[in-house]
Amino acid sequence: MNSKNLILVKLLLILWMGILFLPNAFAVPSYSRQTGLACGSCHYSPPELNPFGRKFKLEGYTFATKAEVKDDKKDHNASLSLLESFPLSAIFDASFTSTKSPQPTTQNGNFEFPQAASLFLAGRWGDHVGSFLQVTYDSQSDHFSWDNTDIRYANTNGHMFGKSLTYGALLNNNPTVEDLWNSTPAWGYPFVSSNVAPSPTAAAIINGSVAQDVAGFGGYTMWNDHLYLAGSLYRSEHIGGSQPNPGTGFGLNIRGVAPYWRLAWQTSSENGNLEIGTYGMHMKTSPNAITGIEDGYTDWAVDFQYDRALPQLKNDVLSFRGTYIRENSSLAASFAEGAAAVVDHHLNTIQGNVEYHFGTRLSGTAGYFNVTGTADPLLFAQTQITGSANGSPGSNGYLLNLSYWPQQNIDLAVQYTGYMKFNGGRSNYDGAGRNASANDSTYLLIRFVF
């Protein structure tokens, strides 16, 4: 492999591994228009789902109280159930980001107007089919691109062992986007984030690395309002890439199919909702190719979420969430191409946060994250800002967020991210004299949702 290709492979690896903190979580007003319910009926704070929001998603986004164009199924004629209002929504984000130290040769203190703008087709498509479908304009790339998508069929009429059974089929483009809780990556904390500040390079496959770069089909079921089971099979689907997929230019090309699984158990009391679960993914892939030697990844994860309503405080809600992801990888292809120094790697990711919801008007969140794993001077090469001087993927730090909602569809957020370690080091982590704390960032956001 020549040096040009090697650099390309490394850049691709950095790109797909650096999506740890994507701001990809939203609440959608067209659901509100469809149900006649305020945002706070489904969310503690958008996008965090409360039990009603989870049920609404579980049942395929189909619950509606508003007028529909309807035709009953008769004889050999099919039925029709169509919302009179087209389920379109939009989000507009403007932001400001400042890092503790400027990124070399660049200006610090960046306004983005907009940072991003999204359009959603989100709502009921029929009796049993609904969607969360998002396209997003990103100011840095200056174009719209396909974003998180979850189209599902749901049936609520099942029974098993005398208990209720909701089941359905899924089409989506991001493992865990189908999930009902906010402890898994697609809808996990932070719910908003800067796209200017540097973020750690290493991320597990299931932790956003293949988001919007795959297409998956699967199924799910919830038994007795307690036991949730979901599974999907994914193939690479590179937005903007040619079809059939030649593999070139992409760091991850799934060979065969990549299975994703999810098992969760929930229970509730008058004021509490608890979920504990496990999820994971297995993937064989080849960098920049569709044949030849493969890299293999297996992610195993556990998660929990506990939401506690506080009746003595006007039913404010205190939320605790956490996940641990263990990734074992065998990077034979990367090793053969000179992009990895050793074949066998592992990556441990811990993310946890606690949030207090002051009604639906204010929420404050404190989060901690820690990534450790196999050091590899080729995989995590020395590069200014985004690289690692010692080849370690280790990063840890904290994330503080305060969100104020003057209306349920307007979010004013201030966020501070602090790093104790960044890409393997506390000081001079990139070999170019930059310290981890130089990437500490302050982020201000205003979001309009309508």
Chain residues in the site for another protein (CB under 8 A): 35-37, 41, 50-52, 54-56, 59, 63-68, 127, 155-160, 164-165, 167-169, 217-219, 221, 225, 229, 231, 233, 255-259, 266-270, 273, 282, 284, 294, 296, 298, 309
Do 208 and 20 contact (CB within 8 A), yes or no? yes
Q: Closer to another protein by CB, 138 or 225: give it.
A: 225
Q: Cα–Cα distance between 356 and 360 in angstroms, integer?
A: 10
Q: Cα–Cα distance between 205 and 71 in angstroms, integer?
A: 45
Q: Closer to another protein by CB, 59 or 147: give it.
A: 59
Least Å from the CB of residue 36 to another protein: 4
Q: Closer to another protein by CB, 114 or 296: give it.
A: 296
Do 87 and 123 contact (CB within 8 A), yes or no? yes
Q: Cα–Cα distance between 96 and 130 in angstroms, integer?
A: 35
DSSP 313: G
What are the distances in angstroms from CA 223 to CA 58, 63, 200, 226, 447? 11, 19, 39, 6, 37
**Rounded CA Rg of the chain:** 22
Strand partners, 306: 274, 320
Least Å from the CB of residue 284 to another protein: 5
Least Å from the CB of residue 405 to another protein: 18
Torsion of CA 418, 420, 422, 423, to 10 degrees: -150
Closest CA to 440 of 190, 113, 101: 101
Q: Closer to another protein by CB, 269 or 312: give it.
A: 269
Q: Closer to another protein by CB, 282 or 361: give it.
A: 282
Residue 287's φ and ψ, nearest 5 degrees, are -75, 125
Least Å from the CB of residue 366 to another protein: 24
Which residues, 6+ apart, have CB-to-CB distance to 380 below 8 Å?
Answer: 201, 202, 387, 388, 391, 392, 393, 423, 424
Least Å from the CB of residue 270 to another protein: 6
Do 258 and 214 contact (CB within 8 A), yes or no? yes
Kind of pairing, strands 110-124 and 227-236? Answer: unpaired
Least Å from the CB of residue 66 to another protein: 5
Least Å from the CB of residue 326 to another protein: 15
Closest CA to 132 of 160, 91, 79: 91
Least Å from the CB of residue 237 to another protein: 15
Q: Closer to another protein by CB, 105 or 269: give it.
A: 269
Least Å from the CB of residue 20 to another protein: 26
Q: Closer to another protein by CB, 155 or 442: give it.
A: 155
Q: Closer to another protein by CB, 4 or 69: give it.
A: 69
SS3 readout for 185-242: HHHCCCCCCCCCCCCCCCCCHHHHHCCCCEEEEEEEEEECCCEEEEEEEEEECCCCCC
Q: Closer to another protein by CB, 75 or 270: give it.
A: 270
Q: Cα–Cα distance between 396 and 424 in angstroms, integer?
A: 9
Least Å from the CB of residue 434 to another protein: 39
Q: Closer to another protein by CB, 372 or 408: give it.
A: 408
